[in-house]
Structure 1
Amino acid sequence: MKSLLLCFALTMSSFVFAQYNYDASEQLPFGKANPKAPEQIKDYQALIGLCECKSTTRKQDGTWNDPIDMIWRWKYIMNGMAIQDETLKADGTHSGSIRQFNTDSSKWYVHFFSSKGIPNTLPTWTGNKKDGKIILYKDQKAPNGTEGFFRLTFYDISKSGYKWIGEWVDKTETIVYPTWKIDCKRK
């Protein structure tokens, strides 16, 4: 009976560990894409890891604040089926996102959280990779009430780093007002 229980326990522990072959570990500090994940999981492949960044936001008067040093850390989560990123800023504000690709809608769903405030519901951006850029949208009115989006774009993505910009755009994307930009270099 003891040997049967031991055999069962070893089988179960092997099963449990096998479920997490793609999560972050000592051997894979940022995890690994699960081969069963949607092909689009590779959209973020070049961002996985650590980058040292400069984050710059726009002031109310339209000028830009001085850049803030920031670490942007990316890893695979949920056994390589999704992606999590986290920003650690020198000014003490931090944020992150959970990124999942929905095969039914063929879109990325990005749920954002921040240490600046805890909303009842996490804001969500949706979008895709197109022409080497990852572009995400969330409905947002301009201060004057004009319908539009807050658009997030990752671009100039390479092995050495990437750039990111947050912009308010009207529904036709002819009016573009940048409010936040980040420049990242691979660590």
Structure 2
Amino acid sequence: MLISNELRWFYPGSIPEDIELWFKQNCLLDPLQSPEEREDVYLYSPCDFLGIKLRQARLEVKWRKSELGIVRFFDSIEGKTEKWGKWLCEDSTKESFQKTTVVNTPSWVSVQKVRYSQLYRIIPEFPPQPVSANKSIDNGCTVELTRLLIRENPWWSLAFEASGEEACLMDNLQKTASWVFNNYRGSKLLAADSFAYPSWLELVCK
């Protein structure tokens, strides 16, 4: 089981140009890197503590272990932090967990994603260091800026997902967010818009 501390915001529409430019220039190890494009298919359920999705022929189940409260960064940024557990299931035969088996089922919702992401390594007494996503590290935090398309409606999301030793997760998240937001000059990020994917799906699909 994978454990992470997470902080996310969701907003309707396209990513503001100033926020996308800020992210590319200040968050990415390679500002010219191409975003990842993929489709995830979520099981819609009016339950904000459980997320189930099919991704690249794999079943992923996430559940919220605890709500950790609101964190604030500078004067214009606040969001809700949560601890999540994740369980992954893959079929070596590639016969199970195919999106074609659920594509016409009303309870499953397709989400198109175009995502920029950057992994940061956390080392005590040093600032967060951007590293390659395939690098093995003990403690880190991934920062994501994602374009979303759901039921032909555009949204965007900014997120932090801290990994590593469980006792260090909150510190990993806060150190990375403080470092990343140090030169952020975009619009306010509000706690009212801060939640995980299950809550966002409930908002969009209800």
TM over 0.5: no
Higher normalized helix content (fraction of residues):
2
- Normalized against structure 2, the TM-score is what? 0.28
- Normalized against structure 1, the TM-score is what? 0.30
> Bigger relative contact order, structure 1 or 2, given CA contacts below 8 A and separation 6+?
2
